[in-house]
Structure 1
Amino acid sequence: MVNAILALLALQLMGEVLVRAFGWPLPGPVVGMLLLFVGLKVRGEVPATLQRVADGLLANLTLLFVPAGVGVMLHLELLAAGWWQLLLTVVVSTLVTLVATATVMQTLLALTQKLRR
């Protein structure tokens, strides 16, 4: 189990190193997650120890929101000053996400139907 945790941390570190080395505009953990995805696709399965670690992390996922909640409480006056910008951002980004998801879904469905013919 320790090996699986170390593997996740090593992939995150590799992502950070790649992002800083090449100046990519992505968070290092995202690149590390992509590396993990590629590694799992090449392997063809998720190792049992990695599955147990992932299950443990997901079971305690709510604990990861505690620092964000503390940050919100610490900067409540800042959030109160810019509430309408935050609301507008959330609404617009939600609509953009919905439109992008629907467009991708329609494109994939059309492509799937085209390939079946």
Structure 2
Amino acid sequence: MIKTFAVLLVFQTLGEGLSFAFSLPVPGPVLGMLMLFCWLLARPNEVAALAPTALEFLKHLSLLFIPAGVGIMVHAQRVAAEWLPLLAALVISAAVSLVVTALVLKWLQK
């Protein structure tokens, strides 16, 4: 478990470092996930070692939404003042996500 946690933290740190060093518009954790994905593709035997702990983390995934909920509550006045743009962004992004997912699925089924 500690090894898996260390691997995840190393890749997140590398991603944060790359994002900061090159002033990339992509968040560090996203770059870290991409590097972890490439590393796991290159070393498939590591997947079996990381899978049990990763599955345990996924069981508690809902805990990761607590900071976002706290952030919304801290800025509740701003959310109340700007509800229309937020609602529009949520609806449009959900619609675009559904359309893109459907198109990718249709393309993959060919």
Partner of 2:48: 47
- Confirm or deny: 8 A CA contact 2:16 2:28 kept in the other structure: yes
Count of residue pairs the alignment pairs up:
109
Would you identify which runs of 4 or more consecutive aligned residues in structure 1 move more than 3 Å?
A: none
Sequence identity percentage: 47
* Pairwise CA distance, 1:9: 0.4
Partner of 2:56: 56
- Confirm or deny: 8 A CA contact 2:4 2:54 kept in the other structure: no
* Pairwise CA distance, 1:83: 0.9
Partner of 1:100: 100
- Unaligned 5+ segments in structure 1 are 111-117
- Unaligned 5+ segments in structure 2 are none
Distance in 2 (alpha carbons) for counterparts of 1:73 and 1:24 = 29
Distance in 2 (alpha carbons) for counterparts of 1:47 and 1:63 = 25
Distance in 1 (alpha carbons) for counterparts of 2:74 and 2:21 = 34
TM-score with structure 2 setting the length: 0.87
Distance in 1 (alpha carbons) for counterparts of 2:11 and 2:48 = 15
* Pairwise CA distance, 1:55: 1.7
TM-score with structure 1 setting the length: 0.83
The structure that has the greater radius of gyration is: 1
Partner of 2:16: 16
| RMSD (Å), alpha carbons | 1.5
Distance in 1 (alpha carbons) for counterparts of 2:61 and 2:52 = 14
* Pairwise CA distance, 1:82: 0.8
